[in-house]
């Protein structure tokens, strides 16, 4: 348990006295933005009382749960539950309670959003994604408990399967997800090493098992990928993905022996085999991915490309040995016919459970994903944080035009529409949702919780809480609003949304909020986690993301917030890959 006291930075001495410490003063030290206990505590299960001494002056936080004892003095209370005794929750107390702000808006009937229930917020604890020592990009935050759920080993995921089954698609998507979630991950594709080291075009005969020179070269390129994989893990990487066919027992044993020889690293190898027997899916994969494959960049004749590629597949089929056909006592996941069936063998642990959950939702069916913010709200006018205000007249007109946009796209009746539960998001999405195939109001899509800063402007935060303002400016990704959330917390909250986006086969629209959409766009467009809080997402804009084999196409449309004729088309302002 970590206790923090926010404020009184200039104090010479701050201590905390608690019932579980026999009321002996426990020294606190100033760390970055608050006073914290020098040593971590593990109080027994039950309800505890405490107070603070700031340069000898007794203080409690009136915004947190308090109780008066027989001596008629107030104490803060904290409840330790049985399942949290051996974890490390952080409990934050405030030197000065948040002042109530009176706002004057352009709308006479405006009412402030309901204030937070401080007692319930006080007990909130967040799990900061995959913060695992030796695996994660970032060190665990004090309140993180995932260190108890991992054996700290680095992961090597080894793809297995015939060409055009979806191995590279799965490995790229999985890499993107793990990086977004906080694990540093990288794909090492055998084909890229071949293209970098061999000039010219290698036809299907190069991949024949009866071509000893070809076999030798392909093994060499696989070893080069493995060497780079080890280098990446040594330099701080958490998960490496070896993307190749690895289609024989001998090749897979070569990989295992290579990894076992790296005793300086504690490695866990897991095979992911992608099997597809559906010829229509295979053909779609060939057309959508292989015709644009770098191997065939110099060949314009598509029929020649298809013929050569299918001959390459046939060469691999001659020697293909699926996982489990011989005595291979290995950890593996088998994905069969685009997740119609999943087979799992000897896969354990927190990170592996996340990987299994993710890959079980993947499919390669192309469909557009639309992201847009809610219409202008009353808080947008004054640039205030949080709250649950309604949309303005301009916001209402934007919602009407947004509905027209999707009617013009001709897909509204087939769409899945998701909004948050907040008023401004629901008011923007409801017209579209009425005619859609699916409309869900989702609590997970609510805007980032700004805690005690709810209803304030950034200028007011800077004036009344300069230390908090500076801490946020220094590290926007990991900064957590007092009694609120950080971007890391928010991304964790959005994991179920990511799973649903991947699972859903319909065109999907998400009407959300700026911080929420930044997190989703960072995932969908493979933006680095550090850059996530700085993505620009203006109002009155729709982003149309179309995933394809090697990336995502992004179209941006401006939707007016004033009355226009029904036939007027929104302006596409940018298009990018």
Mind listing the pLDDT tens digit for each residue in 18-39?
A: 888 778 888 888 887 788 887 7
Is 374 annotated in the active site?
yes
| Alpha-carbon torsion angle 416, 420, 421, 424, nearest 10 | -110
CATH T-level topology, domain 369-576: Rossmann fold (3.40.50)
Closest CA to 52 of 11, 85, 90: 11
Q: Which of 374, 485, 495, 502 is catalytic?
A: 374
- Residue at token pair 């295992």: 256
Residue 240: its H or E element: strand 239-243
Token reading at 197: 């080291």
404: three-class secondary structure by DSSP: helix
Q: Do the first three CATH levels of 2-97 and 369-576 match, i.e. the same topology?
A: no
Q: Which of 36, 447, 468, 485 is catalytic?
A: 447
Q: Which residues pair with 377 in a beta bridge?
A: 391
For the chain, the structural domain boundaries read 2-97, 146-359, 369-576
CA distance 457 to 238: 39
Q: Is residue 468 within 8 Å of residue 461, measured between CB atoms?
A: yes
Distant-in-sequence, close-in-space partners of 433: CB < 8 Å, separation ≥ 6 = 417, 419, 439
CA distance 182 to 238: 10
Which homologous superfamily is 146-359 in? P-loop containing nucleotide triphosphate hydrolases (3.40.50.300)
Sign of CA dihedral 374, 380, 383, 387: negative
339: three-class secondary structure by DSSP: coil
CATH T-level topology, domain 2-97: Immunoglobulin-like (2.60.40)
1: three-class secondary structure by DSSP: coil
Closest CA to 135 of 171, 167, 181: 181
Token reading at 84: 């949290």
Token reading at 471: 């801490």
Do β-strands 267-275 and 332-336 pair in parallel, antiparallel, or remain unpaired? parallel
487: three-class secondary structure by DSSP: helix
Instruction: Tally the C-alpha atoms within 13 A of residue 503's C-alpha that lie toward its C-beta.
Output: 11
Integer-rounded Cα Rg, in Å, for the chain is 28
Q: Cα dist. 109→55, 105, 392, 457, 547 in Å?
A: 46, 9, 12, 20, 44
| Alpha-carbon torsion angle 18, 19, 20, 25, nearest 10 | 40
CA distance 155 to 306: 35
Q: Is residue 539 within 8 Å of residue 380, measured between CB atoms?
A: yes
CA distance 167 to 272: 8
One DSSP character per residue, 437-481 reads SEEEE-GGGSPPP-GGGTT-BHHHHHHH-HHHHHHHHH-TTT---
Write out the binding residues for substrate.
373-380, 424
pLDDT in tens, the chain (577 residues): 678 888 888 889 999 998 887 788 888 888 877 888 877 677 776 778 889 999 989 998 877 777 877 677 888 887 765 444 334 456 777 765 544 443 444 444 433 333 333 333 333 333 333 444 444 444 434 444 443 344 457 899 999 999 989 899 999 999 999 999 888 999 999 999 999 999 888 999 999 999 999 999 999 999 999 999 999 999 999 999 999 999 999 999 999 999 999 988 889 999 999 999 888 888 877 777 666 777 887 787 888 888 888 899 999 999 999 998 766 668 999 999 888 889 999 898 888 999 999 999 998 888 999 999 999 999 999 999 999 999 999 999 999 999 999 999 999 999 999 999 999 999 999 999 998 999 999 999 999 999 999 999 999 999 999 999 999 999 999 999 999 999 999 999 999 999 999 999 999 999 999 999 999 999 999 999 899 999 999 999 999 999 876 678 899 999 988 876 655 555 555 555 5
CA distance 402 to 540: 9
């Amino acid at each position: 348990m970590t206790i923090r006291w926010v404020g009184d930075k200039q104090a010479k001495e701050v201590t905390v006295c608690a019932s579980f410490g026999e009321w002996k003063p426990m020294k606190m030290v100033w760390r970055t933005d608050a006073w914290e206990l020098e040593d971590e505590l593990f109080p027994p299960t039950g309800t505890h009382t405490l107070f603070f001494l700031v340069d000898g002056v007794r203080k409690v936080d009136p915004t947190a749960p308090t109780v008066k004892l027989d001596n008629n003095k107030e104490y803060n209370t904290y409840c330790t539950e049985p399942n949290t005794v051996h974890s490390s929750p952080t409990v934050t107390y405030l030197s000065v309670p948040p002042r109530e702000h009176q706002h004057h808006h352009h709308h006479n009937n405006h009412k402030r959003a309901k204030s937070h229930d401080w007692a319930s917020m006080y007990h909130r604890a967040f799990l900061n994604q995959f913060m695992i020592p030796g695996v994660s990009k970032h060190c665990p935050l004090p309140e993180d408990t995932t260190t108890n759920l991992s054996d700290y080993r680095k992961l090597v995921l080894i793809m297995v399967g015939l060409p055009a089954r979806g191995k590279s698609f799965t490995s790229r998507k999985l890499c993107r997800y793990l990086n977004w979630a906080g694990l540093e991950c990288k794909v090492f594709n055998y084909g890229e090493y071949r293209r970098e080291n061999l000039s010219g075009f290698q036809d299907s005969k190069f991949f024949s098992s009866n071509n000893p020179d070809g076999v030798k070269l392909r093994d060499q390129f696989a070893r080069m990928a493995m060497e780079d994989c080890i280098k990446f893990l040594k330099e701080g990487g958490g998960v490496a993905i070896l993307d190749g066919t690895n289609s024989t027992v001998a090749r897979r044993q070569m990989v295992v022996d290579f990894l076992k020889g790296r005793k300086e690293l504690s490695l866990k190898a897991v095979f992911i085999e992608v099997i597809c027997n559906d010829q229509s899916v295979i053909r779609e994969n060939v057309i959508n991915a292989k015709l644009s494959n770098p191997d065939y960049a110099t060949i314009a004749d598509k029929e020649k490309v298809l013929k050569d590629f299918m001959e390459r597949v046939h060469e691999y089929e001659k020697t293909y040995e699926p996982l489990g056909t011989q005595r291979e006592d290995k950890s593996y996941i088998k994905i069969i016919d685009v997740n119609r069936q999943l087979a799992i063998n000897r896969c354990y642990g927190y990170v592996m459970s996340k990987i299994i959950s993710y890959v079980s939702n993947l499919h390669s069916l192309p469909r557009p994903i639309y992201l847009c913010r809610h219409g202008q709200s009353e808080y947008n006018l004054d640039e205030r944080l949080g709250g649950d205000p309604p949309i303005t007249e301009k916001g209402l007109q934007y919602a009407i035009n947004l509905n027209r946009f999707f009617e013009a796209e001709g897909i509204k009746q087939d769409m899945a529409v998701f909004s948050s539960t907040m008023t401004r998001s629901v008011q923007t999405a409801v017209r579209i949702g009425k005619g859609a195939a699916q409309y869900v109001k989702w609590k997970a899509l609510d805007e980032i919780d700004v805690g005690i800063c709810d209803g304030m402007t950034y200028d007011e935060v800077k004036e009344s809480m300069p230390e908090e303002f500076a801490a946020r400016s220094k590290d926007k990704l990991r900064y957590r609003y007092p009694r609120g959330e950080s971007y890391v917390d928010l991304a964790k909250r959005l994991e179920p949304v990511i799973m649903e986006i991947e699972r859903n086969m319909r065109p999907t629209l998400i009407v959300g909020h700026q911080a929420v959409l930044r997190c989703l766009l960072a995932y969908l467009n493979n933006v680095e986690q550090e850059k996530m809080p700085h993505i620009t997402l203006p109002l009155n804009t729709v982003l149309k993301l179309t995933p394809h084999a090697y990336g995502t196409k992004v179209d941006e449309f401006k939707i007016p917030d004033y009355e226009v004729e029904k036939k007027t088309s929104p302006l596409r302002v940018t298009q990018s890959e």
